[in-house]
Structure formats: C-alpha cells, structure tokens
Amino acid sequence: MNALDQFRDAITAAGIEAPDVLHDDGAIHRFSPSGRRGAASAWYVLHSDSVAAGVFGCWKAGLTSTWCAKSDKAMTPAELAAHRQRIKAMKAQRDADEFARLKGEADKAAARWRTAAAPGAHSYLVRKGVQPHGIRCDGETLLIPLRDTAGKLHSLQTITPDGEKRFKGRMKGCYFPLGSKPQGFLIVCEGFATGASIHEATGLPVAVAFNAGNLGLVAAALHKAYPALVLVLAADDDHLTPGNPGIMAARQAALAVGGFVVAPQFPKGRPPKATDFNDLAALAGLDAVRACFAEIEGATCSH
C-alpha cells in the first residue's frame, strides 16, 4: 500500500470521509468531512518525500491528528528529528491558515451585518413566538452576531424562514447577549429562541451559546471576564437523545464555573420534540418559564 492510500486510511479511521484525490504537495487542502457538499471544515497537509508524513483534522469537530509512514522506533535519530520538525511546521501552517480563514469570515460577517436591517415580522420569529432583540435580517435570512467578551464580532448565525441554521467563522467561546449589562446573575443557554423566551419571561440578561458544545466554552469565557457574576446554565432537556447531551453539557459547564443548572419543567403530555425553554413557552406560556427560574437566590423578575 502506497503512502497516499495509508494516509487516506488514517483519515477514514478518524471518522472523516477522505476526499477522492489526495495531494502530497505539502500545501494545506480543505474538504467536506462528510463527503457531501457543504462547509469544507476538514483539512490535511501531506508530504511524501523522505519519510512520508501528514497532518489532518476537522475544525468543526476540533480534531487534529498526525500520520507517518514509519513508527518512531523504525526511524533513525536523524529521521525522527526531521519528522518532528516537519510535523511542527505543518501544524504551524495549519494554525496560520485557520487564523486567516477566521479573519476573512469575521470581515465578511461585519460587512454583512452593517448592511442588514431590522427583521420585522419574520416567519421564524413569529413561529417561535419571540421578539428580535436586536438581531437583523439580510433579505429573508436572519442574522445573529457571535461576539467575544470584548464585544468583537467574529461570525454570524444565519436562520432561514424554514429554520435552517448555519455558521461560518469562529463559534468557540462566542455568544449573543440579550438584555442589559448583567448584575449579579447571567443566564447561559443554547439557542436564540430559547434565550429570547427566557429573557422575555424573567427580564434577566442571557448569553446565547448556540449549541451544547459551545456552552462550556462560553461559560468559561464569561466567568473569566466577569468573575463576580453567578452563571445559571439553562439546559436543553434532550430526553430522547442517549446521554441527554443538553443536560450533561449544562451540568459540566456549571461545575466548571461554580454555577447553577435550571432545566425546563414540562407539564403532563409533553410532546416528544419538546426539549427547551422556547418549547415550554409555546406549550405553557412564559409564566411556566418564569417559574423554573423563580428559586434562583437573589434573582428578580421584571414581569
């Protein structure tokens, strides 16, 4: 088996669908990790001269892996030293490419945000029963900015009228704030509609982290920036998903920052797809959402 086939097998073994054609030119190449059309979040760098070696991964999954045609024990000391230096250089190449990619996406996001307008009666907002809270619209597509704790805009979440959500650019540690500057308590949740329902029910400030995987990163960033705040992790109750990732992510994030977890308490007859506080608001009204947060010591509701 040649080096290209071995490298392809290594990529596949990591759970990424390797592209049909691999290039061993030492340049960074991007591709879709699923093999389908979409964001090219997977990447690789491969050299086949000397001792063949490569680095590959997926930005979306947070994966980075190395491969070499020889094991460390099979290489001479000179080969091993050269291999380690090459791997180091390839990782630096990857980091530089990712920095440039994220900067480009941030610039495009800022330009798109500047020209966007208030959404009005957008069908997604109407269906979810929430107010826009400062998000904007580009044509029929909703735009929700993702910012870091310094307020810098890094990327946008786009939502189409039928609810399809996409991201481009940096998500890790970025969030969308609802409400005024927090004093005392700050609620951290997953989705925009969930955060809007919580804020409209309680009057408390909310940070939208967009998904369970980003919940802990946002909580950690906020805790570092605002150590005096008490963070309340508003969990999605993914009761039909093995391991309940929404609850688990909220618990882990709360444990890391010394915060609290609040989960939606649904009435009897809960529909199978009802998992978050926006679903609770649709089923039982904002009073039911407010009641879930009523026992947070020191928290006050404005409604």
Strand order through the sheet with 165-168: 136-138, 141-147, 153-159, 165-168
pTM of the entire predicted model: 0.81
Across the range 288-300, mean pLDDT stands at 76
Residue 303 confidence (pLDDT) above 70: no
* pLDDT, tens digit (0-9, with 9 covering 90-100), for 160-211: 999 999 988 899 999 999 998 888 899 999 999 999 999 999 999 999 999 9
Measure CA of the first residue to CA of the last residue in the chain; give whole Å: 69
Q: Which amino acid is at 199?
A: H
**Residue owning tokens 């409209």:** 200
* Residue predicted with more confidence, 291 or 296: 291
* pLDDT, tens digit (0-9, with 9 covering 90-100), for 74-103: 998 999 998 999 999 999 998 898 889 889
Cα 158 to chain centroid distance, Å, stands at: 13
What the chain holds in terms of domains, given with CATH numbers, is 3-106 (no CATH), 118-293 (3.40.1360.10)
Determine the pLDDT at residue 3: 87
| Residue from 183, 191, 214, 172 nearest 133 by CA | 191
Pairing, β 136-138 against β 63-68:
unpaired
Residue 300 confidence (pLDDT) above 50: no
Residue 117's CB is within 10 A of a number of other CB atoms, namely 10
Average pLDDT, the chain: 92
Lowest mean per-residue pLDDT among 69-78, 127-136, 191-200:
69-78
Gap between the Cα atoms of 90 and 82, Å rounded:
12
* pLDDT, tens digit (0-9, with 9 covering 90-100), for 17-41: 999 899 999 999 999 988 777 678 8
DSSP string, 148-214: -TT--EEEEEEE-TT--EEEES--TT-BEEESS--SSEEEEESSHHHHHHHHHHH---EEE-SSHHH
Determine the pLDDT at residue 184: 87
Across the range 247-256, mean pLDDT stands at 97
Residue 144 confidence (pLDDT) above 70: yes
Determine the pLDDT at residue 38: 66
Across the range 139-153, mean pLDDT stands at 96
Across the range 124-135, mean pLDDT stands at 96
Determine the pLDDT at residue 49: 83
Across the range 45-69, mean pLDDT stands at 89
Determine the pLDDT at residue 181: 84
Q: By the 8 A CB rule, do 109 and 136 touch?
A: no
| Residue from 132, 114, 115 nearest 123 by CA | 132
